[in-house]
Amino acid sequence: MKMKIILAKKIESVVAELAVAANLFLRKDVLAALKKAYLRERNLRAKKILKAVIDNAVYAKKEKLAICQDTGLPIVFLEIGQDVHIQGALNAAVNRGIESGYKKAFLRKSIVKDPLLRGASGFSPCLIHIDIVAGNKLKITVLPKGFGCENKSQLKMLKPTADIREIKDFIIRSVKDAGPDACPPYIIGVGIGGTADYAGVLAKKALLRKISSRNSKLEKELLRQINKTGIGPMGLGGINTALAVHLKTFPTHIAGLPVSVNISCHALRSATKVL
């Protein structure tokens, strides 16, 4: 396969474009799921909230405003083909792109450079995850992760003898612990396997899957049980605590079973482009 050369300047431009799109335009699959939830909801207070959430996404797109005031900590996923040659500094280009996009769209500065001293906030650095894949293309995804829901993340290092029931109990308990605090209805990403840190990355990647994609038996069962908790949209009850549960797995060590739960609020935002 012929080597493809991609300039860092081009990557910077695309990242800026995606940063704006992700924050202003709710994903089509998420909006469609919210509309379906509205139609099947019978709790009047929950139904009213779902209507407000849908209207918010519509107005944000129309007026080119941020879907949520918390424009998140941007996470950038790069799938780089092994036959791609990038000319220029990749990490610097991605961070410049994030800064450019966030400034252009008048998005909030949410990142403190020192987690202990805190201090003034800025637009960067973002988090960058890189996977080397076959081919000569570069796939770029920007996922702005708000911290109302990020703060509800949970990790459990289960014993390797743990059965499915224990895994399900932990995932459902994580949602119950979040309660209404992370702005449901949720999309729940679950990473199983790898190491403690990699399970968290898997859970984030699970959020990138389209809600309309085919679900496993376990995902369907988890969604049913979570929606029986009665938390509902913004904690007002009803049958729509979550819109989807997505699992992503990876091989792990014989002595462990890491399970990470990463919750997204109803405004699950991401945008992707392939070069």
Judged against a pLDDT cut of 90, whether residue 2 lies above it is answered with no
Q: Do residues 207 and 113 both lie within one domain?
A: no
Do 97 and 86 belong together in one domain? Answer: yes
Residue-level pLDDT at 215 = 87
**Percent of the chain beyond pLDDT 70?**
100
Burial track 30-62 (b if 16+ CB lie within 10 A, e otherwise) = bbebbeebbeebebeebbebbeebbebbeebee
Per-residue model confidence as pLDDT tens digits over 127-139: 999 999 999 999 9
Query: In this model, does residue 23 exceed pLDDT 90?
Result: yes
Is pLDDT at 214 greater than 90 in this prediction? no
* 197: containing domain: 148-268
Whole-number CA gyration radius for the chain: 19
Whether the pLDDT of residue 212 is over 90: the answer is: no
In a shared domain, residues 159 and 177: yes
Q: Domain boundary at 107, 127, 145, which? A: 145
Specify whether 163 is located in the same domain as 259.
yes
pLDDT the model gives residue 1: 78
Residue 41: inside a domain: no
- Residue ending a domain, among 111, 145, 179, is 145
Give the mean pLDDT of the chain: 97
| Nearest by Cα to 76 from 264, 213, 208, 248 | 208
How many domains is the chain built from? Answer: 2
CA angle 228, 239, 53 (to 5 degrees): 135
Rounded CA-CA distance 190/208 in Å is: 12
Residue 15 lies in a domain: yes
Decide which of 130, 145, 160 is a domain's last residue: 145
Residue 112 banded pLDDT, cuts 50, 70, 90: very high
Classify residue 212: in a domain, yes or no.
yes
**pTM, entire model:** 0.95
